[in-house]
Amino acid sequence: MLINSVVLVLREVLEAALLLSVMLALSLNLRCSMRWLALCLPLAVLGIGLFAVFLDSITDALEGTGQELLTAGLQLAAFAACLLVICLGERVRAGARQSPLLALGFSIAVICAMVREGAEIYLYVTAFAASPDQRTAVYVGAVIGAGIGVSLGVLAYGGLRAMSARAAYVLCLCLVAVIGAGLVVQSSQLLEQIDWIAPGEPLWNTSAWLSEESVPGQLLYAVVGYEASPAPLQAWLWLGSALAVPAAWWLGRAPWRQRRAPA
């Protein structure tokens, strides 16, 4: 029970913690005021509470597809917010004024990621509140899992802050690309689950090499959306989403605007 809860909570916390670390590092890198964080945390806690309390009704909504649609919506919104941040961030780096939209982008990305992961932890931990024999193991496991997850997030943040601003910026963009691609692939699987999109035949199967059930496989799934036997749609979505990050960066640079600037 202890190990189960450590892995479950670690997996959920890690997804949100890593994205939070990258967003924080990016925000500091762009010299954006960190006030957005103070607004984010209470809103995320409120969102987690609402999601967990109303999950009954959410699940039954829209002919039983509510849970998948809301979760996929949160993940896609987080990714869209990341793209907005990268596009606006690059404009700031090019000398544009700080836009309030930038702080909004950071907030949406962090709130969506935290609500999605936090609600599952909340449900899991409260499910065992009534069973005294398992309660302690679950609580201790959850604290250890959350501790490791948060520590890894802090470590990632520390690492990003320790390197040169330029290197940290490039690494942040790469991390957003792989985390974002993972979010999009996870959303596509949820839409498959409610029969909104059709699954295809798997392109390959790497489960003998790295099983999705193994701890590294689970952590890799949590962070980059690792899928041992992806359908063509998932593979293309992963690639397309990862490439959307450099596209957003390029859009922020707006080379056509710079060309006109000297006039």
The residues binding other proteins (CB under 8 A) are 1, 4, 8, 55-56, 59-60, 64, 67-68, 120, 123-124, 127-128, 130, 189, 192-195, 199, 201, 211-213, 217, 227-228
Looking up tokens 């520390």 gives: 158
- Residue 167 has a CB neighbour count (10 Å cut-off) of 11
Closest CA to 190 of 79, 109, 82, 73: 73
Closest CB to other proteins among residues 55, 143:
55
100 φ/ψ angles, rounded to the nearest 5 degrees: -60, -20
Q: Look at the alpha carbons of 101, 103, 108, 109 in this order and tell me if their dihedral is positive or negative.
A: positive
As measured in angstroms, the least distance from the Cβ of 223 to other proteins is 16
As measured in angstroms, the least distance from the Cβ of 126 to other proteins is 8
As measured in angstroms, the least distance from the Cβ of 213 to other proteins is 5
As measured in angstroms, the least distance from the Cβ of 45 to other proteins is 19
Closest CB to other proteins among residues 4, 258:
4
Closest CB to other proteins among residues 47, 252:
47
As measured in angstroms, the least distance from the Cβ of 76 to other proteins is 17
* Alpha-carbon span 170 to 161, nearest angstrom: 12
* Alpha-carbon span 143 to 121, nearest angstrom: 11
* Alpha-carbon span 84 to 248, nearest angstrom: 7
As measured in angstroms, the least distance from the Cβ of 22 to other proteins is 24
As measured in angstroms, the least distance from the Cβ of 88 to other proteins is 33
